[in-house]
Amino acid sequence: MLTTILALAPVAIALLAYLIMQGLFLWALVRHRSRQRLPREACRRAPGVTILKPLAGADDDLDANLDSFAELDYPTYEILLGVASPSDSAFAAARRFGARHPDVRARIVVTDPDIATNPKVAQLVTLEARAAGEVLVISDSNVRVCPDYLWPLVHTLESPSVGLVTSIICGTGEETLGAALENLQLGAIVAPGVIACDVLSRRPLTVGKSMAMRKRDLAVIGGFRRLSDVLAEDHVLGRMFLEAGFELRTSLDAVENRNVKSGIARTMERHTRWAKMRRAICPLAFFFEPLLSPLAIAALMVLVSPTRASVLAALVSALVQVTGGFLALRIFRGRTLAWYYAPLEIVRTFVALACWGRAFVSRRITWRGNEFLLGRGTVISPVRNACILHKCCIPELARSPGQAKKDHAPLHHADRVHLRCAPARAKSGKVFRP
């Protein structure tokens, strides 16, 4: 009897941890939504805001995502759309955005990809220099927002002690199995984990999908340039603000993370990369992450000791986790879910466990077409061997350095392009003028 109790102890611990996480998440959501929604009159003033949009490639629903920022209910804001090259498909999307919304104050900024090892940070460094707003808001390209998106962020930053505000994210729009698994992971595990950490810890998690800060405070801590060589720039940025004496806050006004047509392979690749980042940030906490998934722990117990008690524990864990995940996503999204999201939670559990296990296999990651080796604290270094091995197969790399540089001379970096005046095509080396 004692042996059985000890064997099932990990499952009991996992069930308790899971119920606490989901309970805190649902309590925070219900409490937040029961209050009157923050009106614009609650803000003492409306400082100018610059929205930084680092774009790369054609994300799901990119045009519609950008359109949501043209409908913001805020008096003074500008949008800086950062692209690393005019040949990037995101450049064309940015131009289409300008054609659809000529009255929106928006500009394209062609950034220097060599200014930082992290491609996203390379864009943010240039966007920061070009921003005119008192408040900077970072928003990824796959984010979609509601019209009053900026007001809660600005209101929170009215407290001088608050340095950074981050938003919780809600995955939406799934049309494929991979996208459904991705959005279920974001809504049933990631968001509850962020909120539970915010309630229980003095060091809230920062999510780079949507963050706001005062420009002067960012300059005080060294700007985005200090994040040049790290992959988890959102985590390191939050730590920098904490070390400077500022507070971090989490906004419960969720933003949508649009995942529409992702395949299972792409979903696993992304969450494996995120798992490797978490392992690099805090290896001990990452090792115990499966304790937030009672079904995964119970399934492992069945494999190790297939007894009647362990099978019963697995069934109870499945029931608890399916109910908890379904309820969390239902309340988070605020609408009815199809029945198949319940059994899908079981699939998501083992996909997430596989991503967790893969994080121990390799430190190599692929992101935005670049390969990196991930070190402690998510410090990244480019993997150059791949370029050397494939040099003979890539004409551009087979040329002499001087010829390659001549043929692929970069656009005048940091030159701002007014959306209505950008030409239909951009040749390398051309400088765009308003």
Phi, psi of 273 (to 5 degrees): -65, -45
User: What are the contacts of 42-46 at 24+ separation with CB within 8 A?
Assistant: 42/151, 42/155, 43/151, 43/154, 43/155, 43/158, 44/158, 45/158, 46/74, 46/75, 46/76, 46/154
Whether residue 288 is predicted with pLDDT greater than 50 in this model: the reply is yes
Residue-range domains of the chain with CATH: 43-279 (3.90.550.10)
Burial 70-104, CB ≥16 within 10 A → b, else e? eebebeebbbbbbbbbbebebbbbbbebbeebeeb
Q: What is the pLDDT of residue 340?
A: 87
**289: Cα separation from own chain's centroid:** 19
The three state secondary structure string of 88-113 is CHHHHHHHHHHHHCCCCCEEEEECCC
Whether residue 232 is predicted with pLDDT greater than 90 in this model: the reply is yes
Q: Using DSSP bridges, classify how beta strands 49-54 and 135-139 pair: parallel, antiparallel or unpaired.
A: parallel
| Nearest-angstrom CA–CA distance, 28 and 251 | 11
What is the per-residue pLDDT across 184-210, written as a single tens digit (0 to 9) for each? 999 999 999 999 999 888 788 899 999
Which residues 6+ apart lie within 8 Å of 268 measured at CB?
351, 354, 355, 358
What is the per-residue pLDDT across 358-384, written as a single tens digit (0 to 9) for each? 999 999 998 888 899 999 999 999 987
What is the per-residue pLDDT across 100-121, written as a single tens digit (0 to 9) for each? 999 999 999 999 999 999 999 9
Q: What is the pLDDT of residue 37?
A: 60
Residue labelled with tokens 């984990």: 193
Whether residue 434 is predicted with pLDDT greater than 70 in this model: the reply is no
Look up residue 280 and give its two tokens. Answer: 């690099």
Q: What is the pLDDT of residue 1?
A: 62
- Say what percent of the chain tops pLDDT 90: 72
Q: Which residue has the higher pLDDT, 148 or 391?
A: 148
C-alpha angle 149-152-155 in degrees, rounded to nearest 5: 135
Whether residue 211 is predicted with pLDDT greater than 50 in this model: the reply is yes
Asked if 46 and 74 count as a contact pair (C-beta separation under 8 A), the reply is yes
pLDDT-based confidence at 234, cuts 50/70/90? very high
| Nearest-angstrom CA–CA distance, 304 and 8 | 11
R_g of the chain computed on alpha carbons: 23
| Nearest-angstrom CA–CA distance, 63 and 97 | 7
Q: What is the pLDDT of residue 390?
A: 39
Whether residue 393 is predicted with pLDDT greater than 70 in this model: the reply is no
Helix or strand or coil: residue 183? helix
Whether residue 407 is predicted with pLDDT greater than 60 in this model: the reply is no
Q: What is the pLDDT of residue 337?
A: 84
Whether residue 429 is predicted with pLDDT greater than 90 in this model: the reply is no
Tell me the DSSP string of 249-270.
EEEEEEEEEE--S--HHHHHHH
Q: What is the pLDDT of residue 339?
A: 86
Across residues 48-54, what is the average pLDDT?
96
- Cα atoms in the Cβ-side hemisphere of radius 13 Å centred on 79: 28
Nearest residue to 430 via CA among 414, 410, 416: 410
Nearest residue to 185 via CA among 350, 359, 363: 350
Look up residue 246 and give its two tokens. Answer: 């500022």
Q: What is the pLDDT of residue 204?
A: 84
Look up residue 238 and give its two tokens. Answer: 């939050």
Across residues 164-174, what is the average pLDDT?
94
Q: What is the pLDDT of residue 304?
A: 87
What is the per-residue pLDDT across 137-150, written as a single tens digit (0 to 9) for each? 999 999 999 999 99
Q: What is the pLDDT of residue 39?
A: 56
pLDDT-based confidence at 229, cuts 50/70/90? very high
- Cα atoms in the Cβ-side hemisphere of radius 13 Å centred on 432: 26
What is the per-residue pLDDT across 322-337, written as a single tens digit (0 to 9) for each? 999 999 999 999 888 8
Average the pLDDT over each of 74-88, 164-178, 266-280, 393-407 and give the range with the smallest value: 393-407
What is the per-residue pLDDT across 334-361, written as a single tens digit (0 to 9) for each? 888 888 888 999 999 999 999 999 999 9
What is the per-residue pLDDT across 53-97, written as a single tens digit (0 to 9) for each? 999 988 889 999 999 999 999 999 999 999 999 999 999 999 999
Look up residue 19 and give its two tokens. Answer: 């119920």
Mean pLDDT, the chain, rounded, equals 85
